[in-house]
Every structure is written in C-alpha cells, then in structure tokens.
Structure 1
Amino acid sequence: EVYYRFTITQPMGIGINTCGSAVADTYLKVFSSDRQRVLYFNDDYSGSGACSNTKSACIHIPLLMPGTYYVVTDGAGNGSLTTSLTGTVVDNPGDSSEMAIDLGPHSKGFSFSDIRNTASGYTNRYQGKTTNDVYYKFTMEKALAVTIDHEGSSLSDTYMSLLDKDGKLLRNSGNTKGHAQLELQELAVGTYYVVSEGISLNGSITTNIRIRGAGGDIVTTEGQPHVISLTPLKKTSSISSLKEDEQLLEIRYFDHLGEPTERIQRGITPGRNNLVTIQEYDGMGRELREWLPAPVADDFGAYVHPSVVKRAAQSTELYGNDGRPYSETSYDGSELGRVVKQTGVGNDWHTADKAVTTDYVTNVGDVAQLSVRMYGYSGDALKSTGYYADGSLYGVRTTDEDGNVSYEFKDKLGRVVLTRQMDGSLAHDTYYVYDEYGNVRFVLPPLAADNLNSIA
C-alpha cells in the first residue's frame, strides 16, 4: 500500500480516486489525523463520477472539515497505482443534510464544539422552525450517553432537533426559551443528524456534542499504555451519567517497561485546562527529572508530547517563567545505581549547586560521628552493652542544601537502629531497640540516649 497525508485549512468537498491504475482492482481508505479511525472506505465503485474501470476505487466526500488526514491506496496485487485527489472549497458547511458537518464514527468518548452564524449564508432546509439551520452528522458504533447543547451561543433562544439517518425526527428541544439541550442516556448504534437553529431569530449558535464512555468523553492515545482513574464526587449508579464537575478524572501513561511517564489531571485548573506532570528517565531507566505540573489545553485525555509539557512549565507565570521547573536526581557509577545528589525545583538551586547529597558509609567505633551504641534489654530494663562491631552496619550520610548533616544506620536485616542529626560537632541521636520478633520495643530520643549508660 501507499500512504498519503494532506491538510486542509477550510471546509472542502474532497474527491479521491485510483482511475488509470495499472492494477485492475484497487481500494481506498481515509483515516483520521491520529490514524486510528477509518473515516471513509471504498473498493469497487460504479456510481456518479466512477472510473471507466469500476474495479477502481472512488471516494466522494461532500464536506471535510479543516484538519490533517491520511489516505491509503492498495490493490489486489502489486503494481502501478495512480491516486488522484481534488478539493473544492465549501462556503457554508452544514447548510443541508447532504453537506452536514460530519463528525465521523465513534465507539468511545468524544467531544466536539462548533460555532456557526445562521444569519450569514445559511438557508432554512429543515422545517423545525422558520429560521435558518445548520446540520451535523455523527455515527455511533456503540451505544453510549450523548449530550447535545447550545451552551455558549450568542443567540439567546435556540432550538435543536435530532434526526435518524433517514431524516426522521427522534427528539427536539421544545420551545423553551434559552439555549437548547438534549440529554440522551443511551443512544443506540446508528447514524444521526443534529439540526441547530434559532427559535425565532437567526444568529451565532454554538453546537456542543459530547459522547460519554465509561471515562467520559476522553479519547486516549492508542499504543501508549495507560490507566484511567475516575473518582465520583457524588453517589451514582452509573458512572457515564456523571457530569464533569461531579468527577475527578486522571489518566496515567506508562512506557513499555511499565514505568510511569505522564500524569494528566483532566480539567482540574480554574480555566478547565488539564494539569500534566511528566517524569523523565536516564539511559539506565532510573528517575532523572520530575517536572512540576503544567497547565495544557485539553485534548480529551490524549498523550501530550513531553516537549509540549516542558514549554508550558517553563513559560507559566505561576513558576516565574523559570527555565528549570524540575527536580533532578544523580546516581553513583556503581551497578547499585545509588542516589548521590538530588537538586530541587528551580533554576536558583541548579545554578548555585544547592542540592541534597548522599554518601554511603559504615560504622566505625573510634570515629565519633560513625560510632553506634548497642542496646539490650531484660524484661522492661534497658541498658547499653557497648558498640556495634566496625563495619557491621550500613550507613547513609545526608547533607541538605544548607550544609546540615544527618546519619542513618541500619543493621543487616534492614532495620533502622540509629538516626543522628548533627549540629556542628554535636550529635543528637535517636536509637531504636527491637525485640526477637523484629518489633520496635524501645525508642530512645536524644536526651535519653545521651544519659543512658551501662546501668539499667
């Protein structure tokens, strides 16, 4: 097969054919911009405008809205394929059912919004009202909840009709003043038309169509592993009936090794944008940079390229247009991949080399900062029994951005036996004493640890 891509910037009627191909039997497919949905398909065609060879494929699209599309040409065998594409500008898309603004087929969540001024160039084709109207078309491949409304219209009183594929009226919004709305809890599989018009006047009408799946109207990116989490904010027997302000929706994307790479909190900002957080990894698969969440325009839950999130985070006034709105982790060169440095969020921390550093040590009895007492107990009596043997404990020395030093020592079972906070050369120790089952039996705060000697 052969792939073609084309982009149109205004509504057009599109014709595509394989007339003149050396391969006798051909077919055509038109895909959406994400290449996941087949919008139009043809194999053999003998209707109006057909090729002389009716085994050649022809697709006639009365109206295609602005966007990017892909065409695939293929044949029953290999050989020379001729593909032709023509376009004609459509001045008033949606002026009739034949020129309906086609939203395509849908089997999961989807959201659409469009503004048309019926006072300019449109006519009265549907006799719902005497005003001019605009036609929209969509196909349900799965029964889902659908909301259609005119919220945001400049025209104050609007009217709406829902028709089946043959143009038969199924529902209308009635003559109630205000912006028209239809709530359909489960719209069956099939093709439908929506007709938008004013009750008594022509003017600017915003038509919103939302198809809601189990995760609302989200359309996640296929090929990117992800998990969708929906938290209801009210009691409900049907998740699909929840409105946007009645739920918290989160999408987490993962790489193909199962590591989380992107978190999208949908519509959570005051401006109803998504809040997107990304996690970067180094070549060894270790966490490298965690970026602050950035507001990004909603794309129905689709995966956002990291470069888009980075630019948004660096340019937001919320972070002062900081060039480094991320924390960064560095590792040692060993196979253990141990953390040795963690730099906080913000350019100031990075340029001043203000970071939390980590060193890996062991206990040494004759070095004050590395010596660790050993405690034992009998019944409820606790006493110091000397010092741990040199090298018998694992130690971590942490130095914060201001140069404050602390230590943590663990035994070979991974139990913390001492945390030591240094104040200059003065140590403040907290000891942990365990019973034979590994449970914490005693916790000695600094004052107790300083005063407890070998006497119980």
Structure 2
Amino acid sequence: MKKILIPIGMLLSYSAHAQLSTGENYIQSKSYLDYNGTTPSKTSETVQYFDGLGRPKQVVNVKASPQGKDVVTHIEYDSFGRQVKDYLPVPQSGTLNGALVPNPLGNVANTPYGSEKIYSEKILENSPLDRIQQQIQVGNDWSTKPVKFGYETNVLNEVYQHITTTTWENGATKSSVALSPAVLYAPGTLYKNTVTDEDGNPTLEFKN
C-alpha cells in the first residue's frame, strides 16, 4: 500500500480536480489501496480542515461510506477554546469530493444514529487547571450517568502507612523483611483522587 501526503503548498494546483474548499487551511492525504495494472482502482482519501488558530475543525473522509458518500467528523470548541465535546463521524447525504461540509450534523437524523446523542462530553471545573469533573459518554442512556472525578486530600484516620525494613545477611544471599506497626497519615498530606463510574462505584487513589 502506498500513501501520499500532499503538502499544503501543492494543494492549490490540485484543488480544482479534488474540489477542495479554497480559502481554507487543510491537509489532504490519499492512500492507494489497490491497482488495476498501473492505474489505482481503490483509494482512501481524507481532508482535515483547520481554523485560523491552527486547530482542527472538520475531518472529511471522502466517499468513505458503502454508498460512496462522505463521512464527516465535526470538531467544535467552547468559548474558552477547549474541546469539551467529541462527536462521532456522521455519514452525509452525498459527497462534496473533499470540500468543507457546511453543516455536517444536519444529516444525523437520517443515519443509524437517529435521535441518539452522538457526542461524549466533558464538564471541566471553573479554574485555570481545567480538570475534568464529569465525563458523559455517547448515547441517550448515558446522559444521566456521568463518570465523576473528585480532587481532594486525605482526611483523619483514612490511610495507613506501613514501613518495611530489609536486612541482608551472608553477603546478600539471604534477607529478612520487617514490617513496622501501622501509623496513620496526617490529614492533608496526601492527594486523594476519586473516580466514580456510571453505576456509582468509586475508585480512590492516594498520592504523596
């Protein structure tokens, strides 16, 4: 299989044939999958478009569906420039031969997705750290069952500390291990990260 990456500078002369959107930043890639003699008979073509800040905004898989229609992944950002929604690829009603699709989500109802929620979503805390508070998976059934993340410190009588002492004997051919009596970490000395799954089962991780 041969794969050709066409630099952006060369795309200006190629865009008339591929019908790519002029005035847009994009990277076009084409993989040749099969040949009929020396003529390529099967190819895979992708065009990734970028906004003025160099961020991806749309990925077009040209004629990628079984019916030869475009399959487009929509990418969007919130008012702070964060990508908090990850959309599933959406089959389109036709093909634009690699051009930017104006409304890639407009055909969702006509696909197997139907009325399902087609994106996963992250809810971030209101701080410069942008830590995830909740993650909601794709699909209507998961919209009320988020994965929750907590960021705290340990509290009183929560985590035990054990110290082991290893003694080597006879030129390191024999060793013994002694375990000290358990003591408790003082409150606020450990980071405590909690992940609660969709069924409400928490997993706790402590770090020093």
TM-score (norm 2): 0.73
Q: Rg bigger for which structure? A: 1
Partner of 1:218: 18
Higher RCO structure (Cα 8 Å, ≥6 apart): 2
Partner of 2:3: none
Where does 1:28-427 land on structure 2 (aligned, <5 Å)?
107-110=13-16, 217-233=17-33, 242-243=40-41, 245=42, 247-296=43-92, 297-305=94-102, 308-316=103-111, 318-319=112-113, 321-350=114-143, 353-364=144-155, 366-367=157-158, 371=159, 373=161, 378=166, 389-411=186-208
Deviation at 1:388, TM superposition (A): 5.0
Q: Secondary structure at the match of 1:277?
A: strand
> What amino acid is the match of 2:98?
G
Deviation at 1:389, TM superposition (A): 4.9
Contact 1:220-1:302 within 8 A present in 2 as well: yes
Deviation at 1:409, TM superposition (A): 3.4
Cα RMSD for the two superposed structures = 3.1
Q: Secondary structure at the match of 1:314?
A: helix
Cα distance in 2 between the residues matched to 1:269 and 1:384 = 62
Deviation at 1:248, TM superposition (A): 2.1
Contact 1:250-1:264 within 8 A present in 2 as well: yes
Q: Secondary structure at the match of 1:397?
A: strand
Paired residues in the alignment total 186
Contact 1:228-1:249 within 8 A present in 2 as well: yes
**Structure 1 residues 359 and 314: CA distance shift in structure 2, 3 A:** farther
Q: Secondary structure at the match of 1:281?
A: coil
Contact 2:153-2:190 within 8 A present in 1 as well: yes
Cα distance in 1 between the residues matched to 2:177 and 2:23 = 60
**Structure 1 residues 226 and 359: CA distance shift in structure 2, 3 A:** same
Deviation at 1:252, TM superposition (A): 1.6
Cα distance in 2 between the residues matched to 1:280 and 1:298 = 22
Contact 2:157-2:185 within 8 A present in 1 as well: no
Q: Secondary structure at the match of 1:309?
A: coil
Deviations 1:243-300 (A, max 9, x none): 4x1x322122222223222111122211011111112211011112222211122111
Unaligned runs of 5+ in 2: 1-11, 169-174
Cα distance in 1 between the residues matched to 2:79 and 2:52 = 14
**Structure 1 residues 249 and 394: CA distance shift in structure 2, 3 A:** farther
**Structure 1 residues 299 and 374: CA distance shift in structure 2, 3 A:** farther
**Structure 1 residues 410 and 252: CA distance shift in structure 2, 3 A:** farther
Cα distance in 2 between the residues matched to 1:294 and 1:302 = 15
Contact 2:116-2:139 within 8 A present in 1 as well: yes
Contact 1:314-1:325 within 8 A present in 2 as well: no
Q: Secondary structure at the match of 2:105?
A: helix
> What amino acid is the match of 1:266?
V
Q: Secondary structure at the match of 1:108?
A: helix
**Structure 1 residues 304 and 392: CA distance shift in structure 2, 3 A:** farther
Q: Secondary structure at the match of 1:230?
A: strand
Unaligned runs of 5+ in 1: 1-105, 111-216, 412-456
Cα distance in 1 between the residues matched to 2:72 and 2:27 = 15
